[in-house]
Every structure is written in structure tokens, then in C-alpha cells.
């Protein structure tokens, strides 16, 4: 049991560290040429392009509850939740419900907004898929988690099997890095109120 619990805590901690690094250390690579995203220039209508600040704000709206959820989850785990299956289940249920909903909504909103430019169409499509898939997975995890009995001796083992590689923080790290390396979106990331608030939350974690 302890191995499984520790594994979950380590994943959550790694996730938080990735976000801290992305929010606090990014932004200096605006000279980058938006690797990859400019390779494919699909025919998109210029009038339909999204405002970059609104677009990045929607992105941060999507991961904001996930960030806060990870912080809350870590707090509960390190304050005794790691040794209490009932508290652990309750915390994970709350996290997966909020994160699943926010990511699913962000996927829909981003798809509705469209890409900020033809050059960012590939990145836009990747993020719509990322949010949609992540939201779906977290919602499924929440449903399966609700069925688990904290009193079951196999609770930790069954918990460990939920989510698959969706818990891998490198997936989100890759998306944030791509966003920040794009000249226009990197600047918009610093301006969108939702992203500024998220960065402040993460700085408080790192301090």
C-alpha cells in the first residue's frame, strides 16, 4: 500500500514541479521560431482567428483547476491523507471531478475560438485534443474511483491502476513549452489574467 501511495504522491509532486518550472521559468524563449507549428499552414480564414490573449486565457482556465487540485491533493496527502484511504479517495474524487470538467470545457471553448493564426493551427489542434482526451480520462477515472472501497485491502493496488499514462506530467509540460515558445502566444501567456493568476499560485508553491 505504501508503495502505491508514495507513487501517487510522487506523480502529483512531479506534476506540480513541472507547472512551477513552466510558469516561473518560461517566457524567455520568444526568439524561438515556434518550432513545428509553422511547418503546416492549413487554409484558415483570417477573420476567424482567435484573439491570442483570449485563447491563452482559455488555456489557463482549463488547467487552472488542475493546478489548484494538485496543490490541494499534495496538502491532504502530506497532512495524513497518504495513510488514510478514505481521505485519499475523497481528495482524488474532488481533484478528478474538477480537473476533468475544466479540461473538457477548455477543449470545447478552444475548438469554438479557433486557432490564433494559421501558424498556430497545429498547436491549437494538439491542445484541443489534449484537453478533450485528458478531460475524458479524468472523468472516467472519477467514475471508477467512486466504485472503490477504501476499506478494501486491495484499495491501493486498484487505485494505482486508474488513469494509465494520463498521470504523466511531461504531457502537460510539452504543451506549455510549445505555447510559450511561440512568439505571439508566449507574450499573450504573460498578459492573460487567468495565466497571471495561475503563475502567482505556482510561485507561492515554489517559495
The reply to whether the predicted model has a pTM over 0.85 is no
- Say if CB 181 and CB 34 are below 8 A apart: yes
Q: What is the DSSP letter of 37?
A: T
pLDDT tens digits, one per residue of 12-45: 444 444 444 444 344 433 333 333 333 333 333 4
pLDDT tens digits, one per residue of 67-88: 777 778 778 877 877 788 888 8
For residue 157, pLDDT over 60 is answered with yes
Across the range 187-194, mean pLDDT stands at: 90
What was the pLDDT predicted at 53? Answer: 93
User: What is the C-alpha separation between 110 and 58, in angstroms, rounded?
Assistant: 7
- Say if CB 118 and CB 45 are below 8 A apart: no
- Say if CB 77 and CB 186 are below 8 A apart: no
DSSP 79-119: TTGGG-HHHHHHHHHHHHHHHHHHHHHHHHHHHHH--SSGG
Amino acid at each position: 500500500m505504501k508503495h502505491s501511495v508514495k507513487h501517487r504522491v510522487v506523480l502529483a509532486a512531479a506534476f506540480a514541479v513541472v507547472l512551477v518550472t513552466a510558469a516561473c521559468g518560461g517566457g524567455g524563449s520568444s526568439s524561438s521560431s515556434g518550432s513545428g507549428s509553422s511547418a503546416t499552414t492549413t487554409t484558415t480564414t483570417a477573420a476567424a482567428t482567435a484573439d491570442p490573449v483570449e485563447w491563452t486565457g482559455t488555456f489557463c482556465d482549463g488547467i487552472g483547476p488542475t493546478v489548484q487540485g494538485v496543490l490541494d491533493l499534495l496538502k491532504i496527502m502530506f497532512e495524513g491523507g497518504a495513510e488514510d484511504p478514505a481521505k485519499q479517495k475523497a481528495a482524488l474524487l474532488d481533484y478528478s471531478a474538477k480537473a476533468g470538467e475544466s479540461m473538457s470545457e477548455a477543449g470545447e471553448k478552444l475548438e469554438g475560438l479557433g486557432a490564433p493564426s494559421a501558424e498556430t493551427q497545429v498547436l491549437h489542434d494538439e491542445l484541443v485534443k489534449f484537453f478533450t482526451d485528458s478531460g475524458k480520462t479524468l472523468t472516467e477515472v472519477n467514475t471508477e474511483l467512486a466504485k472503490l472501497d477504501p476499506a478494501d485491502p486491495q484499495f491501493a493496488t486498484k487505485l494505482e491502476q486508474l488513469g494509465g499514462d494520463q498521470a504523466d506530467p511531461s504531457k502537460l509540460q510539452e504543451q506549455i513549452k510549445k505555447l510559450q515558445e511561440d512568439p505571439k502566444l508566449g507574450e499573450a501567456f504573460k498578459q492573460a489574467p487567468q495565466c497571471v493568476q495561475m503563475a502567482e499560485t505556482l510561485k507561492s508553491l515554489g517559495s
